[in-house]
Amino acid sequence: MTNSPLPFDPSASAPHKPVLLREMLEHLNPAEGEIIVDGTFGAGGYSRAILDHAPCTLYGIDRDPSAVATGTKLAADYDGRFHMVEGCFGDMATLLPAHGVAQVDGIVLDIGVSSMQIDQADRGFSFRTDGPLDMRMSMSGPSAADFVNTAEEEDIANVIYRFGEERASRKVAHKIVEMRAETPFTSTGQLASAVRSVVRKAKDGIDPATRTFQGLRIHVNDELGELDRALNAAETILKPGGRLVVVTFHSLEDRLVKTFFKERCGDPRKQSRRLPGEPEAAKPTFSTLSRKVVTAQKDELRANPRARSAKLRAAERNDLPSTAAKKTGGAA
C-alpha cells in the first residue's frame, strides 16, 4: 500500500497503526448527529477515532471478512452508533441505502491493504513469507494463482507493467508461463523465486518480487476500479457540506484522486474567463479542503515509517447535482 519501493514495511506489525489520523479527523470534521462512512474499516483505527471525537453515527465498510468480524465486535462498544457493513466501497451508493442510509455527511477512505492482511502468510499477499498465492481481500473470486496460471502471457505482462510499474514485465510474464507449464503456481514463495530468477536486485536492495506482487494485488482486487467507483459514488451520496477524505499510498491511486478532485472542484478562473462560443466548463460539485496534498509530519514518520508515502486529499460537496445525475438527467 505504499508508493515507496517497499510496499509493505517489514516493521509494520499487527495491529494496524492508522496513518495521518490527526489530519484525517481535521479534514473530515465529524460533528454531533452526523452520519459518517469509513469505507475501509480495517482494524477500526479511523472508525474508533471518529466515534470518540464526536457523537455521530458511523457506518464501517470492509470487503475482508476478518475486518468485518472485528467491526461486528466493536458495535457493542458504541451503543448503536456504529454499524459494520460487509462489501466493497465502490458499491457504497447501493450498500448504504440497503441499510436505510440515503445521504451522508462524511466519507473517509484509507486505500490499500492492512498490516494484518500483509502479516498473515495464509492471505498470500507477501513475498517475504511463504503462503498460498491468494491476495484476495474479500477471500472470494479468482485468486492471484488463478490469474498467473490461466491468463495469457501478454495480459500478465500488462498487469505487472501497469499496476506494478515493473519494467521487466515481459521477462517476468514469460518466466511465469514457462514455469507454469511444468508446475502450476500455488505459493507466494514459488512466484517470488520465479521473479527473482529473471529480475536483478536493484542497488537500493529492494526485493525484485516487490513490483510483481503489487501489480497482481491491484489487479486481483480491482483496486483502481474500486477507487474510481467510490469517488463517483461519494459525489452522489454526500449531502451539501459533506466531506470526502481520501488517503492513498501509491502514485497510481493518488493520481486518480488528484484528477477527480481537480475535475470536480473546477477552476474558478475557467468559469469566469470563458471565451464567446466556448462550451461552459462543468460546474464544480466540490470545493477543495486541501489545496496542497497533506503528508505525514516528522513525529508520525518517526513513529510509523509506513506513513512516509501516505497522501491525504479532501474536498467538500456543494449542492449542485452530481456529474452522474447531470449525464442521465436524474436528480442524484
Binding residues for S-adenosyl-L-methionine: 44-46, 62, 89, 110, 117
Mapped onto helix, strand or coil, the DSSP state of residue 161 is helix
Instruction: Give the nearer residue to ligand SAM in terms of CB position, either 18 or 106.
Output: 18
Residues contributing to the site for ligand SAM (CB under 6 A) = 1, 16, 18, 40, 42-46, 61-64, 67, 88-90, 110, 112-114, 137, 226
Q: What are phi and psi of 303, to 5 degrees?
A: -80, -25
Closest CB to ligand SAM among residues 40, 190: 40
**Sign for the pseudo-dihedral over CA of 158, 162, 168, 169:** negative
Using CA atoms, how far apart are residues 197 and 179, in angstroms rounded to an integer?
11
In the complex, the smallest distance separating the C-beta of residue 108 from ligand SAM, rounded to whole angstroms, is 8
| Tally of residues, the chain | 332
Please state the closest distance from residue 43 (CB atom) to ligand SAM, in A: 4
Nearest to 125 by CA among 8, 233, 277, 286: 8
Nearest distance from C-beta of residue 159 to ligand SAM, angstroms: 17
Q: 16 or 211, CB closer to ligand SAM?
A: 16
Orientation of helix 153-164 relative to helix 169-182, angle to 10°: 140
Cα(249)–Cα(60) distance, rounded to whole angstroms? 20
Contact 56, 36 (CB under 8 A): yes
CA-nearest of 325, 328, 320, 237 to 271 is 320
Report which of 199, 197, 248 is spatially closest to residue 227, judged by C-alpha positions. Answer: 248
Q: Which is nearer to ligand SAM, 45 or 242 (CB)?
A: 45
Question: For the CA atoms of the chain, what is the radius of gyration?
Answer: 21
Angle formed at CA 122 by CA 202 and CA 196, multiple of 5 degrees: 20
Annotated binding-site ranges: 44-46, 62, 89, 110, 117
- Whether omega for the bond prior to residue 15 falls within 30 degrees of 0, making it cis, is yes
Q: Which three cell numbers stand for residue 245?
A: 477524505
Instruction: Provide the minimum distance between the beta carbon of 173 and ligand SAM in the complex, in angstroms, as a whole number.
Output: 25
- Give me the least distance between CB of 68 and ligand SAM, in Å please: 9
Nearer to ligand SAM, 7 or 42 (CB): 42
In the bound state with ligand SAM, the residue whose beta carbon lies nearer, of 76 and 181, is: 76
To ligand SAM, the closest distance from the beta carbon of 90 in angstroms equals 6
